[in-house]
A = this chain, B = another copy of it.
Amino acid sequence: MRMRETLDFLLFDWLKAGDLTTRERFAEHSPETFGAVLDTCEKIAREKFAPFNRLADTQEPHFDGERVHLPQATHDATRAYAESGMLAAAQDYDVGGMQLPCVIEMAGNAFFSKASVAMGGYAMLTSGNASLLMAHGTPLQREVFAKNEFAGRWFGTMCLSEPQAGSSLSDIATRAELEDDTDPLGPRYRLTGNKMWISGGEHEITENIVHLVLAKIPGPDGKLIPGTRGISLFIVPKRLVNERAELTGERNDVALAGLNHKLGYRGTTNCLLNFGEGRFTPGGRKGAIGYLVGKPGEGLRCMFHMMNEARIGVGLGAVMLGYAGYEASLDYAKQRPQGRPMTAAGKDAASPQRPIIEHADVRRMLLAQKSYVEGGLALELYCARLVDELHTGDDPAGAQALLDVLIPIAKSWPSEWCLEANSLAIQVLGGYGYTRDFPVEQYWRDQRLNMIHEGTHGIQALDLLGRKVVQQGGASLAALAARVQQTIERAIQTGWAPQANQLAAALAQVGGATKKAWSTGEPEEALANAVPYLQAFGHTVLAWLWLDVALAVSGDSAFAEGKRAAARYFFAYELPKIGAWLDVVARREPLCREVQADWF
């Protein structure tokens, strides 16, 4: 089964993406233009990305002290991506965009993530960076920076973390001092500090790099304001530009302190950047020049404006790595002969060996992968579709409520379970899967990043249980429950009634555990088991989506049978896992709070 078939089914049959063309913003589109975008993405990904994914891993970026070298293939692939117009896929026509719905943009990008998640990283970051500037930048900032990013002339980054402040953003210490608040490009500051884990932070793919940097403006006493209130957002270009977007020839004071050498995801450079260390002296003095975006103190709000899309993007990347492994292991399982059936006929050692896909345990490993990756794809597209509802639908508040509780799942669930899928892909290939002659080991390594970046698993769990499910008296959770209930009600009248009942029980169990976790009102008690809660919540959401997808297929084609089998798998093998996770949540198991550091 080709992924495109599943993608088209989810987009057009299940999510009715074609209906979006009745909205004014998408009126010039049709299912055909959407399909043409997907065709283009699929083709570029197949020709320019996939063949070089291993190369991007083995020819790791290196820094000669002055420049960072990447394989030519990375230059060519990102160039092809930029030329396709996908950098501005969702933007207005008048800035050179395609005015595509988010769900189509995401679907198109899925092909690149599957072909080479690391080579695709530069473009995703650039698109997110420029979109943020479209929302919060001044007209000139949009014109100078965003438009040149959308055109692929310059690439962008997001500079949040620092060596001492990863998950705890309130502790960032990069300092921004006002130099001139009349600069046409925006109030001009001088930044000093170190930024860590900056993907795409240095390279020679484009002539310039537009860093978006979180930093603190000191108070009147010259001290940085503790906490997130003091954080502002700045545009810090690697090379300085004028109002006409021409390079001035002056290098900004942004220096690569070093490349991180990673387990995977090696095709994307990952950097420690020093801002304002004095390596360069723009305007005759040290200090990185940065232009304020939005208002002082609103840096986090601006940065997280694009959070839905960013987290769906990471989740979708995780799904696609899982998908790549699934396809590779499925292909292998169909071709590799080994062993014989367990029937009487199988006892004849002289009979030929059979393809391993005939063994039940191999099918179990393939079904598990299928349920994770196709379920994950459904999840990400569902969320992207909600983003479209948020922006162009008639119930943006309803969409926001659902997104609030679904985004932590969209980010975390595939990062955990598509990692499991990648491990199963290795297992299907056996010893061969453990070699670098097959792609599955790289997928597994690349995937491991996803539980860490863009908010760790632990951070997503705190966001979900500590904030999202309790906000506004639990309104977001209730909104999700209502949607799930709709699916249950449709399913209960079909052959899926047992699964519908199972899902109803799971939903009740999640609701009950949520209440019990918070019954003492103590965050320490409620949140000590936030990760098991996140896991159970995620599995319940996926069970719901699988049931909904199963209801959307009809007939007895292999395609339909496959979707039903994956749905059945999820209910039989996966959903029952939530009991163990929710037990500790519901009883506010205190063990992890109580254990002492010296007991380890």
Contacts and interface: CB of A to CB of B under 8 A. Distances in A.
Interface in A268-314: none
Given A197-B431, A591-B568, A597-B358, A531 B364 contact: yes
A461 interface: yes
A456 B260 CA distance: 34
A363 interface: yes
**A contact patch SS:** helix
Interface in A543-600: 558, 561-562, 565, 568-569, 572-574, 576-577, 579-580, 583-584, 589, 591-600
A337 interface: yes
Contacts of A594: 565
A1 B170 contact: no
A579 to B, nearest CB: 6
B565 A227 contact: no
Contact of A453 (B361, B367, B431, B458): B431
B558 A596 contact: yes
A435 B353 contact: no
Interface stretch (A29-37, A100-108, A437-445, A490-498): A437-445
Contacts of A170: 349
A171 B351 CA distance: 10
Most buried by B among A423, A558, A599: A599
A558 B168 CA distance: 30
Contacts of A437: 260-261
A423 B452 CA distance: 11
Interface stretch (A136-144, A481-489, A511-519, A520-528): A520-528
A225 to B, nearest CB: 8
Interface string A228-251: 100000000000000000000000
A431 B196 contact: yes
A184 interface: no
Given A170-B349, A363-B592, A448-B423, A342 B524 contact: yes
Nearest to A456: B430
Contact of A527 (B360, B436, B523, B558): B360
B565 A595 contact: yes
Contacts of A364: 528-529, 531, 592
Given A168-B353, A452-B430, A599 B334 contact: no
Interface of A: 1, 161, 164-168, 170-171, 196-197, 226-228, 260-264, 330, 334, 337-343, 348-350, 353, 355, 357-364, 366-367, 370, 419, 423, 426-427, 430-431, 433-437, 441, 444-445, 448-449, 451-453, 456-458, 461, 523-524, 527-532, 558, 561-562, 565, 568-569, 572-574, 576-577, 579-580, 583-584, 589, 591-600
13 contacts: A165-B338, A168-B338, A170-B349, A261-B435, A261-B436, A262-B436, A263-B441, A342-B527, A360-B592, A362-B458, A363-B595, A367-B595, A565-B591
Given A360-B529, A430-B452, 10 more contacts: A165-B338, A334-B597, A360-B593, A367-B595, A419-B423, A427-B452, A562-B595, A572-B584, A576-B579, A579-B580
Cβ-closest 3 pairs across A and B:
A227-B349, A562-B599, A576-B580
